[in-house]
Structure 1
């Protein structure tokens, strides 16, 4: 099937590549199907693109690449909703808020995206009572970088 995307124009996607978010994402409850799209020449960042709405697309990354001590427990309702049976089936991503200049970009560690790699189900899980926030600086910044 062909879909329109925010960053890649019109592309063809295989229906087996579609991720199902049963309850959508916070703020986007009607968007229940997404695809993960690569960024050219980049192994760190990807696009989480809504299948139905071209302008809904998020830059995401694996938070463990930058935050080695990042940890949380997947709650029972998420385990059940995604039908997670094994740790090896889990992938975790976080949404970025891309800034200009890019060194000012932030990452949402309070609401990780949890993916079941086995059945293509996903959910954005809100971490309540956690030390994490929605806008952690992605990069260690110097004063010069912040000013741009």
Structure 2
């Protein structure tokens, strides 16, 4: 399938890269279909809306940011994406890059969960209050390096 993307322009994507979000993402509830793309920067991904080429999110694997991260979302959220096996579930954090790039952050409180077999996704809310909307990536990496 050929899609238009914000980061790369028109590209071909494989069916396995397509993810349907039945209720959209927070703030983007009207957009339901996305493609998961590798970013040029290792460890990051693009979640590109198929319906609006101007909408794309940068994602990272929360376990790469915090080795102690535990995905803790409601059973309803897991059921919404057809959860059957833990190994079928991928978790991502949405990255925000502000004008001051040193304050780049990841949202660990609102993980994007994906059933890679059924290609269904949902943005959930973490049940663990330890995870915040803004985990500053450079601060987290500095902490991890000092451990």
TM-score band w.r.t. shorter chain: 0.7 to 0.9
Partner of 2:84: 85
2:125 is paired with a residue of what secondary structure?
A: coil
1:3-23 Cα distance to aligned partner (Å, 9 max, x none): 211111011223342101010
Q: Distance in 1 between matches of 2:39 and 2:129?
A: 31
Q: Distance in 1 between matches of 2:83 and 2:15?
A: 21
Partner of 1:146: none
C-alpha displacement of 1:127: 2.4
CA contact (8 A) 1:64 1:70 kept: yes
Q: Aligned pair 1:65/2:64, yes or no?
A: yes
C-alpha displacement of 1:54: 0.7
C-alpha displacement of 1:100: 4.5
Alignment size in residue pairs: 140
2:110 is paired with a residue of what secondary structure?
A: coil
C-alpha displacement of 1:43: 2.4
CA contact (8 A) 2:73 2:125 kept: no
Name the TM-score, length of structure 2 as normaliser: 0.87
CA contact (8 A) 1:94 1:109 kept: yes
Q: Distance in 2 between matches of 1:17 and 1:60?
A: 14
Partner of 2:48: 49
Q: Aligned pair 1:113/2:127, yes or no?
A: no
C-alpha displacement of 1:101: 4.9
Q: CA RMSD in A?
A: 1.7
Structure 2: gaps spanning 5 or more residues: 141-147
CA contact (8 A) 1:58 1:96 kept: yes
